[in-house]
């Protein structure tokens, strides 16, 4: 080691003198976390109909000219005006400074995200999906781990420990005592216990007392395809206690249905109605990420709605509701929702007032990772058996795609939706399809990526 | 969330059915980890004389021309021949592909590092220092956290949990059962308990059974400036059980003295003698990172020695022993040793057979981070009082410096040392100083960075 001082040794050497708090095991229904314990489980996750679409490099927009690093005057955050064109992805894009590089070169303080998610040693879910992309996109990340597992639980076996709300509270107390609870963002994904969800609600309230403009991006992980992953009381707690705190909500179709009372969302119009119901509970921005609409089985439809004013010069000229259609292919991946939520957070920061562009860049980064992952895993992308080898092949290729995460290729574009006067939505004239179908994709080819 | 499948929910939903292992508190001397517990401590670390020097952008070498990403044929790992010149750091260097970008564009499998170190939610020590730099340098990282603390222990207070050897063994068993123990590298830093050290020794043996060419980079964190951080039995265990497993050892002056039997290392010659003693215990490469030699109090001296053959076309023409002098300034930082070990691992991978260039790039990246950190924290760099505010200001600016980590400015160069026939060392004729002093720095200005 170098001579510069490190912090941990002395502390741990002295830790016998420090108060230790015995861990507790809770057994109440819905709060089954085993504090600090180690356990093993062997089972398979159910087969989910998993859908993705991959991007190919889009056309010929040239990268913006380089800006000298360290130039004297601060560089403003990227405006939408010069980012409306898709840029070629890949390492060659380093030829110009993207918004991330410009932001880092500006000398302005970086945003700081407290991200409460799981940790897996090998592979990518939870914070392993969120932290690195946020960092390469120029955000400071303070990760709190809700579990430490050897690998994600889709593998034949995993081992590790689950942490509970008390441990989160202890970490938060340490941060607060040192005046480190000064975050611009809170990000949460899967939360396994009521104890942890309650602790997050309390933490969010404390964070808002320190940072009134805190943005809480919440991925309300409840289930998928008609089935709850979590205890019903957890879903109820999300609706009652978390949604009023959330700024940005990123549910899937089933989660949006669950949080709005269970009615099926079968059209873009219904999705926007659901967004309005969700807005009424708290979040100023809602992105329903992956709808499967009866009218369009080969497409994933995304609907986004915001109550924040949008830039007139932005991608959609100030529209506050939009949809995107993404080609569906069947493939199995893990962690894509976690990655999308992190990317959305980052791009909403870089492009405030232009939700459409933020969504397009988040989807673009995700699609780039999926394309590289599909390319790498070959036939394993479609194998239903979840052997360890297959799971390992399907792990997201985040490290390989860091250039594309910073400068995402944009294949899919948002289309504006008009809100109806009665509060529901209609597709905007001229670009929208018939009611019940998703919006058109503008100006991009719809290449179907072969999954093998 | 998106529709693609995630792994954790079902597992956690079912976790009540899984066996849980009660945490145990150990009280044996030197093994004071409180398994899974939460504790609080409030104290100050002693003032250490902390030294650093910062780099300024070096001269005008032009970046190498870009290589098309995704080109059909694999790109070989960077050879030393085209990396012997320092390149301008900063975002403008994105104009050419650096060795990292070339490696990622090559399509070859990335190396995979298992890194066992601490986790702090806020700030940078342990794995928070190691994981992100390794990732931006194009390595896959599987981090195992030995603790989860709110912040490093130099702050007035910290909270969190310490994990023990049993938890490491459980995670390793999960990885092995899924055939995921296929790493190219093992990296360890501060290890707080004998339990954990023993588990790491066992883990390393298992890893070598799966990967005979495993490179184990060990930072034997024992103490500094004449004082042990850890229990004596831990130091003994390093010497007896860890050093025979280690490939690359990165001790500081005190640690090298401790591991070689306690004799003072007061000269470059003595340092190379110490390296030879350490080689005899196992590591093929030893880098003594930060010596303070009586003959040169304003300089930090680094001495590196390897028994691996070095490229004749490399930085030092095949020399296997070298030293570097770095300007000393007084400043307080935390985590610099952890960062250096990670950077050295990465650059030794990218430049096999050219230890000098790897050292120069690792030091260059570290110096870039320190320069940016000093620039940011201003007068707090020299304040002895460790208030929370001061500690927070001094946190390393890793995210801001990711461009420089990938393409480090090189200010300090290695000079070759000749090994004496009796096994000790002498400075190479023509570049070496008188015996007892450090080697000259070649071709670089020696700017003293003002710490405020």
In 3D, which of A9, A20, A167 has the Cα closest to residue B39?
Answer: A20
Report the pLDDT value the prediction gives residue A426, as an integer from 0 to 100: 52
Report the pLDDT value the prediction gives residue A368, as an integer from 0 to 100: 96
Collect all residues of chain A within an 8 Å Cβ-Cβ radius of residue B105: 90-91
**Residue A213 contacts B where some CB pair is shorter than 8 Å:** no
A338 is catalytic: yes
Collect all residues of chain A within an 8 Å Cβ-Cβ radius of residue B23: 23, 35-37
> Is A86 among the domain residues?
no
Q: What's the rounded Cα separation, in Å, for the pair B108 and A403? A: 16
Do the chains contact at B1 and A392, CB–CB below 8 Å?
no
Do the chains contact at B180 and A392, CB–CB below 8 Å?
yes
Do the chains contact at B38 and A95, CB–CB below 8 Å?
no
Surface-to-core class of residue A435, CB atoms within 10 Å of its CB (0-12 exposed, 13-18 middle, 19+ buried): middle
Report pLDDT digits (tens) over B334-390: 999 999 999 999 999 999 999 999 999 999 999 999 999 999 988 888 888 889 999
Q: What's the rounded Cα separation, in Å, for the pair A323 and A416? A: 7
Collect all residues of chain A within an 8 Å Cβ-Cβ radius of residue B337: 1-2, 4, 6
CA A119 to chain CA mean position, Å: 15
Q: Which residue among A91, A101, A144 sits closest to B91, beta carbon to beta carbon?
A: A101
> Is A323 among the domain residues?
yes
Q: What's the rounded Cα separation, in Å, for the pair B204 and B245? A: 7
Min Cα–Cα distance to chain B from A32, Å: 6
**Residue B172 contacts A where some CB pair is shorter than 8 Å:** yes
> Over 60: is that where the pLDDT of A129 sits?
yes
According to DSSP, the residues that pair with A417 across neighbouring strands are: A427
In 3D, which of A439, A436, A440 has the Cα closest to residue A270?
Answer: A436
CA B310 to chain CA mean position, Å: 21
List all residues 6 or more positions away from B424 whose beta carbon is below 8 Å from its beta carbon.
Answer: B269, B272, B273, B276
Report pLDDT digits (tens) over A28-55: 222 222 223 322 222 222 222 233 333 2
Asked if residues A193 and A200 have their Cβ atoms less than 8 Å apart, the reply is: no
Q: How many CB pairs under 8 A join A and B?
A: 491
**Residue B82 contacts A where some CB pair is shorter than 8 Å:** no
Asked if residues A63 and A410 have their Cβ atoms less than 8 Å apart, the reply is: no
How many Cβ atoms from other residues are within 10 Å of residue A130's Cβ?
31
**Residue A373 contacts B where some CB pair is shorter than 8 Å:** no
Do the chains contact at B7 and A180, CB–CB below 8 Å?
no
Report the pLDDT value the prediction gives residue A176, as an integer from 0 to 100: 98
> Is B3 among the domain residues?
no
Report the pLDDT value the prediction gives residue A145, as an integer from 0 to 100: 97
Kindly state the tokens that stand for B362. Answer: 């690792």
Q: What's the rounded Cα separation, in Å, for the pair B236 and A175? A: 35
Q: Which residue of B has its CA nearest to A160?
A: B171
List all residues 6 or more positions away from A422 whose beta carbon is below 8 Å from its beta carbon.
Answer: none
**CATH number of the domain where residue A292 is located:** 3.40.1190.20
Q: Which residue of B has its CA nearest to A179?
A: B388
Name the percent of chain A in helix, strand, coil, to the closest 5. Answer: 35, 20, 50
How many Cβ atoms from other residues are within 10 Å of residue B434's Cβ?
9
**Residue A292 contacts B where some CB pair is shorter than 8 Å:** yes
Domain limits for position B118 = 43-56+87-427
Structurally, chain A folds into a number of domains equal to 1
Min Cα–Cα distance to chain B from A68, Å: 6
Report pLDDT digits (tens) over B404-435: 999 999 999 999 999 876 545 554 433 333 22
In 3D, which of A119, A353, A410 has the Cα closest to residue B171?
Answer: A119
Question: In this predicted structure, which of A111-120, A329-338, B278-287 has the lowest mean pLDDT?
Answer: A329-338
Report pLDDT digits (tens) over A171-224: 999 999 999 999 999 999 999 899 999 999 999 999 999 999 999 999 999 999
**Residue B163 contacts A where some CB pair is shorter than 8 Å:** yes
> Is A221 among the domain residues?
yes
Q: What's the rounded Cα separation, in Å, for the pair B290 and A277? A: 61
> Is B411 among the domain residues?
yes
**Residue A38 contacts B where some CB pair is shorter than 8 Å:** yes
Collect all residues of chain B within an 8 Å Cβ-Cβ radius of residue A289: 1-3
Catalytic residue among A31, A276, A296, A338: A338
> Over 60: is that where the pLDDT of B104 sits?
yes
Surface-to-core class of residue A389, CB atoms within 10 Å of its CB (0-12 exposed, 13-18 middle, 19+ buried): middle
Which DSSP string corresponds to B300-364? EEEEEEESS---TTSTTTT-SEEEEEEE-EE---SSHHHHHHHHHHHHHHHSTT-HHHHHHHHHH
Name the packing angle between helices A355-377 and A336-350 (round to 10°).
140
Asked if residues A345 and A185 have their Cβ atoms less than 8 Å apart, the reply is: yes
- Regarding predicted confidence, which is higher, B447 or B388? B388
Q: What's the rounded Cα separation, in Å, for the pair A148 and B344? A: 27
Asked if residues B395 and B123 have their Cβ atoms less than 8 Å apart, the reply is: yes
Q: Which residue among A37, A97, A174 sits closest to B151, beta carbon to beta carbon?
A: A174
According to DSSP, the residues that pair with A183 across neighbouring strands are: none
Asked if residues B162 and A9 have their Cβ atoms less than 8 Å apart, the reply is: no
> Is B74 among the domain residues?
no
Strands (E), A235-310: 248-249, 285-291, 299-306
386-425 of B, contacting A, C-beta below 8 A? 388-389, 391-392, 399-400, 402-403
Kindly state the tokens that stand for A69. Answer: 């690093």
> Is B389 among the domain residues?
yes
Name the packing angle between helices A126-136 and A336-350 (round to 10°).
30
Per-residue confidence band for B442, with pLDDT thresholds at 50, 70 and 90: very low
> Over 60: is that where the pLDDT of B400 sits?
yes
331-370 of A, contacting B, C-beta below 8 A? 331-338, 340-341, 366
Report the pLDDT value the prediction gives residue B421, as an integer from 0 to 100: 62
* Average pLDDT in chain A: 77
Min Cα–Cα distance to chain B from A362, Å: 12
Report pLDDT digits (tens) over B25-73: 222 222 222 223 322 222 222 222 233 333 232 323 333 333 333 333 3
Strands (E), A232-294: 248-249, 285-291
CA B231 vs CA A14, A116, A377, B199, B268: distances in Å: 10, 34, 47, 17, 29
Q: Which residue of A has its CA nearest to B122?
A: A142
In 3D, which of A84, A5, A73 has the Cα closest to residue A442?
Answer: A84
Per-residue confidence band for A19, with pLDDT thresholds at 50, 70 and 90: very low
Q: Which helix (H) or strand (E) holds B113?
A: strand B112-120
> Is B19 among the domain residues?
no
**Residue B217 contacts A where some CB pair is shorter than 8 Å:** no
**Residue A227 contacts B where some CB pair is shorter than 8 Å:** no
């Amino acid at each position: 080691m170098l001579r510069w001082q490190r912090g941990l040794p002395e502390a741990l050497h002295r830790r016998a003198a420090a108060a230790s708090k015995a861990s507790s095991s809770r057994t109440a229904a819905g709060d089954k976390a085993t504090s600090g314990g180690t356990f093993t489980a062997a089972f398979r996750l159910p087969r989910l109909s998993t859908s993705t679409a991959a991007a190919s490099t889009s056309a010929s927009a040239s990268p913006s000219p380089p800006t000298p690093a360290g130039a004297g005057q601060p560089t403003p955050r990227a405006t939408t005006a010069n980012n409306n064109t898709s840029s070629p992805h890949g390492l060659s894009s380093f030829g110009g400074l993207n918004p991330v590089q410009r932001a880092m070169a500006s000398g302005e303080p970086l945003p700081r995200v407290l991200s409460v998610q799981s940790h897996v040693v090998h592979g990518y879910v939870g914070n392993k999906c969120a932290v690195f992309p946020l960092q390469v996109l120029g955000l400071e990340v303070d990760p709190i781990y809700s579990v430490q597992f050897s690998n994600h639980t889709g593998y034949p076996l995993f081992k590790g420990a689950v942490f509970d709300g008390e441990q989160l509270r202890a970490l938060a107390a340490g941060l607060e005592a040192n005046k480190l609870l000064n975050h611009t963002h809170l990000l949460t994904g899967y939360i396994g216990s009521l104890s942890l969800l309650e602790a997050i609600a309390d933490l969010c309230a404390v964070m808002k007392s320190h940072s009134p403009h805190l943005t809480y991006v919440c991925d309300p992980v409840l289930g998928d395809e008609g089935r709850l992953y979590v205890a019903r009381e957890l879903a109820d707690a999300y609706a009652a206690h978390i949604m009023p705190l959330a700024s940005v909500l990123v549910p899937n179709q089933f989660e949006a249905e669950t949080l709005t009372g269970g009615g099926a969302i079968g059209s873009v119009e219904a999705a926007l109605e659901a967004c309005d119901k969700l807005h009424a509970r708290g979040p100023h921005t809602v992105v329903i990420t992956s709808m499967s609409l009866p009218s369009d089985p080969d497409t994933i439809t995304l609907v986004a709605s915001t109550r924040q004013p949008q830039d007139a010069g932005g991608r959609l000229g100030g529209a506050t509701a939009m949809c995107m259609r993404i080609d569906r292919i069947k493939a199995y991946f893990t962690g894509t929702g976690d990655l999308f939520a992190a990317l959305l957070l980052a791009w909403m920061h870089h492009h405030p007032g232009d939700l459409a562009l933020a969504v397009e860049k988040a989807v673009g980064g995700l699609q780039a990772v999926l394309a590289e992952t599909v390319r790498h895993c070959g036939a394993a992308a479609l194998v239903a058996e979840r052997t360890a080898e297959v799971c390992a092949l399907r792990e997201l290729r985040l490290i390989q795609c860091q250039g594309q995460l910073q400068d995402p290729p944009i294949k899919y574009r948002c289309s504006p939706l008009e809100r109806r006067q009665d509060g529901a939505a209609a597709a905007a004239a001229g670009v929208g399809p018939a009611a019940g179908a998703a919006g058109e994709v503008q100006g991009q080819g719809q290449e179907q990526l072969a999954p093998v």
